[in-house]
Structure 1
């Protein structure tokens, strides 16, 4: 027996280990919904000089997490907890996403998550998510099949919403990765607060600034990011 394994140490519960593994997988920046494809409005915010450095990036991320991040997370939590079904969740997401460009971005990210889900659980019936699905809805479905709570499902979505946009900002502004890492760490408690609120009930607020960024970005010539 290796020296670092104590014979009386409790073995991790397989179900808990599986849930933790799934949480880490879904929070991975290499996911097809991550910051290497979607900037979450950061690209346009930089073009419009709203985000110019690490400080203004942090302000943008905090605002995004507290508005559109909360709404998306609340839908994901509701699906994960089984309080609403998938067709209803799709309609609620449409209704809570005023920007047509924002809806298209959500569907594009949902397509990437649906592809991943199909690889992870090929025997599962994903017909409710075909031919299209919003990111919060498929995220909630993945949380449910992984036996994650609504809170943890919401936390993953909020965190990836924030960290993906932070990564995009780092690339576009050529920021020091350490500075961006500090920004992400500092926003951890805000992500937890928003996820806790999202797990209670569906949120229905919006941020006109983010909607404008989404529409303006879609009309950009040769953008670096899809959204």
Structure 2
């Protein structure tokens, strides 16, 4: 069953009175519990596409359906509800709140959704243990290594049990060892929790984890390798 369906998507920008299409007639299908990579050089439209999927950016024409919701039909309040209820993000720079501990950073999305403080804490502790940070619950971002901060970012994305995760260069800020550790963690968690993952990356090792690898070229997606069968 498709969790993302895009048909003939067009996104235009205007620069110095000239118009150009960064996305031009793009089609995309992502199934449930699938890792789908989007690759390509800088400025080619990868992050733009991710922002459209997350209802963070508009588009000029085409159909975009995510988690059964047609994004073109949402007003601003509807987009906020969509992001809160349906999707989560993993960012390159993690974007942890500096004045809050790892436990608090992961608890906040649950508190916003109306969880009781005790329930939010229990869920946050559980996912932080899954990412190997049982002993770092009370550490602040300034006390965490880059790899640990990345794991907190992953835990925050997964804590609410959402079935679609959008990841923008999640290993881009890490050294090779920490990148590989994070790649292995993401792969293990995806197999266990069965979420769909849209992965924007320059990292070919990370992209190799995908069930379907795709590249943006001339505003459209094309497969990099033959699709793998989801295990």
- TM-score bracket relative to the smaller structure: under 0.3
The structure where helix makes up a greater share of residues is 1
Relative to the length of structure 1, the TM-score reads 0.26
